[in-house]
Chains A and B, each alone.
Chain A
Amino acid sequence: MIQKKYFFYLAVPIFFLIIFILLIVIPAFIPKASPPTASPLPSVSKNFEGGGNPVPMEQIPTISSKQGGGVDLNSQIVKDSATEISKLSTSLPFEQELVLSTGQKVSIIIPSSQYQTNPWTLTAQIFGINYQTSSDQADYEQAKTSFLEASQKIFEWIRSHGANPDKIIISWGDKQYIQQNAETWLKSK
């Protein structure tokens, strides 16, 4: 009698365990829905309308070298830029990886305030684009399109935080050719 009781005590949990295992086994062999074929990274469209026109470097008011040189901090352009950037400062950094319509994978980094050069210039970097290219090279159009698509993402982000990208002085990178190509491409859209 006691033995039967023991068997009963053991049989019940074993039975439930087997049921439990079956519940686990069966779904494992059911074919899962195929994963989406799209890239896991977000992509952006080729429509550049509504993008931004940040202040080009050549339009930034400066003071003469006789008077000390550098940016004219009293100019409205510089003041406006500082005001707009201040709206973003609490949301920095902005980092995103994108696969563009060109197939180019890029990384966008707008670093946090501690890595920004000054309060009136926004450093916004798009990595993965060949900025050294020139119009006579095969990859020029791809680089240009890639930049414009990615920069659109930056402008969208700026707007989403209540700032106006058209009033911001943007430094696109630490090389002269990066800034020059970026501004040339933005003008051409």
Chain B
Amino acid sequence: MIIPLKEKAGLIQFYEKSVKLLKDNPNTPEYRDWLKREFFSSEKVAYNPLKPFIWFLAKIDPKYRPYIKTNFTPEKMDEFLELVEDFRSSRHFRSFFEEYNRAIHEFNYIPKPFDTLTQEEIKALAEAENTPEEQDRAQRLNDFIEAQDNQPGPTEGTSPSSGAMSFPHSPPAPGGGGVNYPTNPEPPATGNGTAATNKGASNLSETTASSRTGFQPRSYTVSEESPLRGFQPRNYNLSSRAGFKVPGVAKDLGSNTKIGFLKLRARAPGFIGGFLNNLGSGGLGALGGGGQIFSKVGAGGVGGRLGGLGGSLTSNPKSKLAIYFLVGLFFFLALFMTFFQGGEATPVSEEPPPTNKDLTIVKEAQLEVPNPPDPNSKISYKITITYIGLGTANIEITDQVPENTTSVDIQDGGVEELDGTTKTITWTLTSMETNKPKTVHFTVQPTKPDIWVQNIAKAKITNGPSTRGAEDLLPTPLPPPPPNWAGIKRTILDAIDKNPVSVGAYKYASEITGVPWELLAGLHYVETGGSLSSNSSLVSGRPIGNVEPDIPISACARGVNGPGIPIPIGGGCGFGTFQDSAIYSANHLSGKINHVPVNFEDAVTALSRYNGGGNSNCGRGTPYSKCPPEFSGEDDPYSMAFFDDQHANMFLIYCRDGVKCSPPQPFQRPGSMAVVRALNER
């Protein structure tokens, strides 16, 4: 399925709104007002950003395709909301952002950021796309992309060549990975200069670029990017879709690609297709397309023979009956084993496994350059790295200077190191934000004529635990909010917005510890009773620099300091800075469950334990009704008060540490998870 250029461009322009559309709480009047104003008002008729949004949904999940042609008039706002809600709760939710990132890559050649494009420029791009040549190119590329999607994905940790392209009539590529040229000794007259190979490693991405000397210089650049993901076949189909950037070489690429595509796609259905065709047609299938074609690649022949056997069997009516009987018996057997033998059906996980491999890397270079000593024989590489995970990441890119070349220009802070005879260039990119690509460049000079120069860039995340976002910590779908949620949320967000310094410290602590910063905000909100200040600790809300009674004297020593380490203060321990209290708290929060909270249950349990757990409401003679708790901490007001309508009536058992309330007092402040929810719905 091709997303028209215009719609991609439109989505990029309206990305922020689309994010808000997907992430804010749709059950609030504010959301509906905003939606009406931004998307359904009569002034927005000229260019409705809903259309590109829906194109993207349809690209991610075909079930949304029928909506492409839907004209979402103001009367259909509720229908649209249902669609959004459905997508929010689907396992493809995250893919939206990946698809967006892919679209960004496709537009890299445009000389200005997309969010600065005017409507006229977008229109011009769209018109350019409508030429027959471009449409033909797009169709052929799309065919290829879908063929890649249809290939079975490799399992985790092994992806020898699945992420790469196959060009059957191209020369062998030197070295492993990257473009695979299996048969033809001659290089394509024009072809791809760049390809990305996914190595399947936990957080390492590679991309390869090949260039050749000895030809007339051309400036063609082709780029295939294959985002680095944890490989699960289901997930792979989405994330391996190559995004092409083909300013000039498209036609030549297309002809090669098409052949490769046909051959690749033929394999998978060959055996099964041949067998089924033949079985179904009583032997005629032995001459059918599937078996005949695939016998050439070695698999269809077997399919055809089996199909022929099946066909001869089915030609006898009695045998046919017997086969039906046998098939029925097998079904019966399977059902019986499932229901009566205690055999539980294995649940099929719908969610892709959590990953921290959220990198895409694209490398580009000229395809051909003249032979040295021509001064134009330099090969300039451009590496584009994009972090598509949550939070921020420090990323290290390394690139070994290819054989038979010497580096002549290293830009963007790259550092060249000599290890034996190999030279490696390293770039360190810190605090990369999601979906904000960065590029680095370097240039090499070939030292020999008529050579292929292959070059591999690698990238990895270096900042330890990947930072998760608040959305991972909330249940899906979100339960209805408590009464007056709009007011509660406003109070929470106002308090946080007034303390940008605190937010900066939460985020800093989050980068170091991996604990989502929203959770630290929630924790701090509870400890300070909503009076957030960067002068009050996350441990107890006491002023920074004061003794923290909850930190034992064994926790600090003279001369022992560092991020998150308490220091001796007076007769006890405390913190020198607000940041240290945030880091200390984040580590201790994780220590309550021995890992960084990664989901709703983790977060709630850890927060309750952080607060001592003594105020859990169930079995304590309170009117709180949602008992027993679904999991540890779910009945603790410090974690859950005002998170949703079922936690709007919680009670304090101990009015102070060790001092019991008699009777239990209504807990009137939002708990930490309500803060997380408010931040996520912003």
Q: A10-B319, A70-B567, A111-B594 are known; give 6 further A-B pairs, CB within 8 A.
A: A14-B329, A21-B329, A68-B568, A125-B592, A131-B614, A176-B657
Tell me if B591 and A123 are in contact (CB < 8 A): yes
Tell me if A118 and B336 are in contact (CB < 8 A): no
Say whether, besides A71-B556, A127-B632, A111 and B570 are in contact (CB < 8 Å). no
Q: Answer yes or no: A121 CB below 8 A from chain B CBs.
A: yes
B570 nearest in chain A by CB position:
A65
Interface residues of B in 415-429 (CB under 8 A from A): none
CB distance from B171 to the nearest CB of A (A): 50
One of A35-43, A45-53, A151-159, A166-174 contacting the partner:
A166-174
Contacts of A121 in B (CB 8 A): 552, 554-555
Tell me if B558 and A69 are in contact (CB < 8 A): yes
Indicate the member of A72, A117, A127, A176 with the most B CB atoms within 10 Å: A117
Tell me if B612 and A112 are in contact (CB < 8 A): no
Tell me if A70 and B550 are in contact (CB < 8 A): no
Interface residues of B in 564-620 (CB under 8 A from A): 565-571, 573, 587-588, 590-594, 609-610, 612-614
Q: Answer yes or no: B337 CB below 8 A from chain A CBs.
A: yes
Pull 8 A–B residue pairs with CB atoms less than 8 Å apart, ordered by A.
A14-B326, A21-B336, A24-B337, A28-B341, A57-B553, A107-B632, A120-B554, A179-B552
Tell me if B594 and A93 are in contact (CB < 8 A): yes
Bound CA–CA A123/B555 (angstroms) = 10
Contacts of B566 in A (CB 8 A): 117
Tell me if B326 and A70 are in contact (CB < 8 A): no
Tell me if B591 and A171 are in contact (CB < 8 A): no
Kindly list the 5 A-B residue pairs having the minimum CB-CB distance in the complex, ordered from nearest.
A69-B568, A68-B558, A70-B568, A115-B591, A132-B614
Residue in contact with A14 in the complex, picked from B316, B325, B551, B592, CB distance below 8 Å: B325
Tell me if A134 and B658 are in contact (CB < 8 A): yes
Interface residues of B in 300-341 (CB under 8 A from A): 316, 318-319, 322, 325-326, 329, 332-333, 336-337, 340-341
B654 nearest in chain A by CB position:
A132
Q: Answer yes or no: B44 CB below 8 A from chain A CBs.
A: no
A-B contact count (CB 8 A): 146
B329 nearest in chain A by CB position:
A17
Tell me if A111 and B612 are in contact (CB < 8 A): no
A71 nearest in chain B by CB position:
B557
Contacts of A70 in B (CB 8 A): 553, 556-558, 560, 567-568, 573
Bound CA–CA A60/B553 (angstroms) = 8
Tell me if B613 and A127 are in contact (CB < 8 A): yes
Tell me if B336 and A24 are in contact (CB < 8 A): yes
Contacts of B567 in A (CB 8 A): 70
Q: Answer yes or no: B559 CB below 8 A from chain A CBs.
A: yes
Say whether, besides A28-B340, A131-B614, A132-B657, A115 and B318 are in contact (CB < 8 Å). no
Tell me if A169 and B554 are in contact (CB < 8 A): yes
Q: Answer yes or no: B660 CB below 8 A from chain A CBs.
A: yes
Contacts of B632 in A (CB 8 A): 107, 127-128
Contacts of B319 in A (CB 8 A): 6, 10
Q: Answer yes or no: A175 CB below 8 A from chain B CBs.
A: yes
Bound CA–CA A69/B549 (angstroms) = 15
Tell me if B568 and A65 are in contact (CB < 8 A): yes
Bound CA–CA A24/B127 (angstroms) = 67
Bound CA–CA A69/B319 (angstroms) = 92
Tell me if B570 and A69 are in contact (CB < 8 A): yes
Bound CA–CA A48/B620 (angstroms) = 29
Say whether, besides A171-B552, A177-B612, A69 and B569 are in contact (CB < 8 Å). yes
Contacts of B610 in A (CB 8 A): 174
Tell me if B556 and A69 are in contact (CB < 8 A): yes
Bound CA–CA A124/B169 (angstroms) = 65
A172 nearest in chain B by CB position:
B552
Q: Answer yes or no: A13 CB below 8 A from chain B CBs.
A: yes
CB distance from A25 to the nearest CB of B (A): 7
Contact flags B604-646 to A (C-beta < 8 A → 1, else 0): 0000011011100000000000000000100000000000000
Tell me if A115 and B594 are in contact (CB < 8 A): yes
Q: Answer yes or no: A89 CB below 8 A from chain B CBs.
A: no
Tell me if B612 and A175 are in contact (CB < 8 A): yes
Bound CA–CA A57/B325 (angstroms) = 77
Bound CA–CA A25/B339 (angstroms) = 11
Residue in contact with A118 in the complex, picked from B332, B555, B654, CB distance below 8 Å: B555
Contacts of B573 in A (CB 8 A): 70
Interface residues of B in 110-150 (CB under 8 A from A): none
Tell me if A115 and B550 are in contact (CB < 8 A): no
Residue in contact with A125 in the complex, picked from B341, B609, B653, CB distance below 8 Å: B609
A29 nearest in chain B by CB position:
B340
Bound CA–CA A104/B551 (angstroms) = 27
Interface residues of A in 100-136 (CB under 8 A from B): 107, 109, 111-112, 114-118, 120-121, 123, 125, 127-128, 130-132, 134
Contacts of B539 in A (CB 8 A): 174
Contacts of A57 in B (CB 8 A): 552-554
CB distance from B478 to the nearest CB of A (A): 27
Bound CA–CA A123/B552 (angstroms) = 11
Tell me if B560 and A176 are in contact (CB < 8 A): no
Q: Answer yes or no: A19 CB below 8 A from chain B CBs.
A: no
Residue in contact with B587 in the complex, picked from A68, A95, A115, A127, CB distance below 8 Å: A115
